[in-house]
Structure 1
Amino acid sequence: MSAENPDFIRSTSAAYDIIADDYAEQCADWAGIHTFDRALISGFAELVKERGREPVADVGSGPGAVTARLHALGVPVFGIDVSSRMVAMARRNHPELRFHVGSMTSLDLPDGTLGGIAALYSVIHVPDEQLPGVFAEFRRVLAPGGYLLLAFQYDEETDHLHLDERFGHAISLDYYWRPPEKVVELLTGAGLQLHSRTVREPQGQERYRKAYLLARKDG
């Protein structure tokens, strides 16, 4: 990870490097992903396949479960994550797929080349002032007509959570909660058009509501 990356990228990368093994035990399996999330990911796969064979980036791919599922659904996909340990784990779990270390603030991709971007529970670590730039970067790399699928938690009581510990490890990790309306405003400000939005209530041991936004680059 380059020293030119913003501070939040470096701290997020360091935190996930530390908790990678524990996080993967919890999140590495497709069956462990909530049924509603799985349905939306499958629908996203069908939409991008209708466009042809343009590649899709799973941004914040973690241990690679979603990347692998999109591949199984016939999507030409690769994963990007800020954590080198997460990338190493994803490569080990799914050697047939491509994963690399990268930052959503500056994607090492040509303009207009992606048929889709899946960013599931990854923009939650991006501070408010950085998010417009991230969405502009997503728009830059999407082909005209390409889709962006976002998923994120939010809490109406607070807009920020800082963790000094997770899975028993000392870390420094920030979470930014935003209502869907605010994220839609930022997406449209970046030149992406809202296709659909869905919100679901917490289930089981979940603490926060979850929002799903599907947006599209005009063209």
Structure 2
Amino acid sequence: MAGGAEEVRAAYDAIAEEYAATYPTTEPEAAVDLAMVDHLARLVVESGGSTVLDAGCGTGRMARYLADRGLRVTGIDLSPGMLAMARRDHPDLDVREASLLALPVGDAAVDGVLLWYSLIHLTDDELPAALAEAFRVVRPGGYVLTAFQVGDGPWDVGRGLRERGYDLALVRHQRGTKAMLDALATAGFAKEARLVRQPLGREQHPQAFLLARRPA
């Protein structure tokens, strides 16, 4: 894990400023993608909650989206460079450096967890630990929403970065929706909603959004 985490941190530190400039808000998301985030926000509020952990918050753009919908958001990310952009562009947000495998949050402390394309750099061996952490920190009756590219096996993200002038290595671990649903179920979550759409624009893979709930 150490080598993988270091690779991911180095890559996102290197691209942080460009990423923040290119995607200041929700430019990469289709309206249907954001509908799943809106659904999460509504469910949290309707269940009497208000707190969401954006686990893998990057530059804070999705944390901002949730905060603008009245939620109290804490963001965590592995990359100090991405967090620096989040603090610069969203100084009112609470963001912290941490790993998905050791969330700096107490047991049952939040009403929802957002894993927005943040599990994609974890290996199959690491994924159960990350989902177990999400289960630990979300309260009974709370929700988790994960987004990811649908595929099978590793995908060399570093190739695209090298074509843009970055001397970086970065791998994305792609999975099918059944594999992710099975992993969520193993962690203790119950499926609430599933959305899969075909690639749009420059996307090369279908995009999946899975909403699950920790049983009350």
Q: TM-score range by the shorter chain?
A: over 0.9
Change (3 A) 1:121 1:132: same
Q: Alignment partner for residue 215 of structure 1, among 202, 212, 216?
A: 212
**Residue 191 (structure 2) pairs with residue 194 (structure 1):** yes
Deviation at 1:75, TM superposition (A): 0.8
Q: Alignment partner for residue 114 of structure 1, among 102, 110, 114?
A: 110
Q: How many residue pairs get matched?
A: 213
Q: Alignment partner for residue 93 of structure 1, among 75, 89, 92?
A: 89
Task: Report if aligned partners of 2:44, 2:111 keep a CA contact under 8 Å in 1.
Answer: yes
**Residue 177 (structure 2) aligns with:** 180
Of all paired residues, the percent bearing the same amino acid is 36
Runs of 4+ in 1 over 3 A off after TM superposition: none
**C-alpha distance in 2 between matches for 1:28 and 1:34:** 15
Tell me the C-alpha RMSD between the 2 structures: 1.4
Deviation at 1:46, TM superposition (A): 0.6
Task: Report if aligned partners of 1:68, 1:94 keep a CA contact under 8 Å in 2.
Answer: yes
Q: Alignment partner for residue 161 of structure 1, among 138, 149, 155?
A: 155
**Residue 83 (structure 1) aligns with:** 79
**Residue 168 (structure 2) aligns with:** 171
**Residue 203 (structure 1) aligns with:** 200
Letter in 2 for 1:162: D
The 5 Å alignment of 1:8-27 reads 8-27=4-23
**C-alpha distance in 2 between matches for 1:27 and 1:193:** 32
**Where does structure 1 lack aligned partners over 5 or more consecutive residues?**
none
Task: Report if aligned partners of 1:63, 1:86 keep a CA contact under 8 Å in 2.
Answer: yes
**C-alpha distance in 2 between matches for 1:105 and 1:207:** 28
| TM-score (normalised: structure 1) | 0.92
**Where does structure 2 lack aligned partners over 5 or more consecutive residues?**
none
Task: Report if aligned partners of 1:161, 1:176 keep a CA contact under 8 Å in 2.
Answer: yes
**C-alpha distance in 2 between matches for 1:168 and 1:29:** 24
The 5 Å alignment of 1:122-137 reads 122-137=118-133
Q: Deviations over 1:92-118 (max 9, x none)?
A: 101111111111001111111110000
